[in-house]
Amino acid sequence: MRIGHGYDVHAFGEGDHIVLGGERLAHTRGLVAHSDGDVVLHALSDALLGALALGDIGHHFPDDDPEFEDANSRRLLMHVMAKIRAGGYELCNADITIIAQAPKMAPHIFAMRQNIA
């Protein structure tokens, strides 16, 4: 068994939505990011990579690489999961904490879980 810890944060900027757990949520501001800024999937990807000592998300998806500009973080997570499986491992559980005043998370949690599963 391997355990990883992931963390991600992005500043707020211009925009009318944020992406969390693969869900597009209406919001008064967006997140400043090279990709879609999905801090939930970024933190999960970082935890998975860390569990196997494969570096961090920035090593695999550099923010100065045009290939990852506006990238869908679900696609990045699939890439990470392929690396995990190639190493002979499987994810059996992930506990993700979102710290935010707004938007309200409860209406979106089920969809986020489905996206991650």
Q: What is the pTM of this model?
A: 0.94
Helix count and strand count (H, E) for the chain: 4, 4
What is the distance between the alpha carbons of residues 114 and 42, in angstroms, rounded to a whole number? 16
**For 34-78, how does the pLDDT look when each residue is reduced to its tens digit (9 = 90+)?**
999 999 999 999 999 999 999 999 999 999 999 999 999 999 999
What is the distance between the alpha carbons of residues 28 and 67, in angstroms, rounded to a whole number? 28
Residue ranges per domain, the chain? 12-116
- Confidence (pLDDT) at 3: 95
- Confidence (pLDDT) at 75: 96
Q: How many residues does the chain have?
A: 117
Q: Is 82 left (phi over 0), alpha (psi -120 to 50) or beta?
A: alpha
- Confidence (pLDDT) at 104: 94
Would you say domain 12-116 falls under CATH 3.30.1330.50? Answer: yes
User: What is the average pLDDT across 19-47?
Assistant: 97
User: What is the average pLDDT across 77-97?
Assistant: 96
Q: List CB contacts of 62: < 8 A, sequence separation 6 or more.
A: 68
- Confidence (pLDDT) at 21: 98
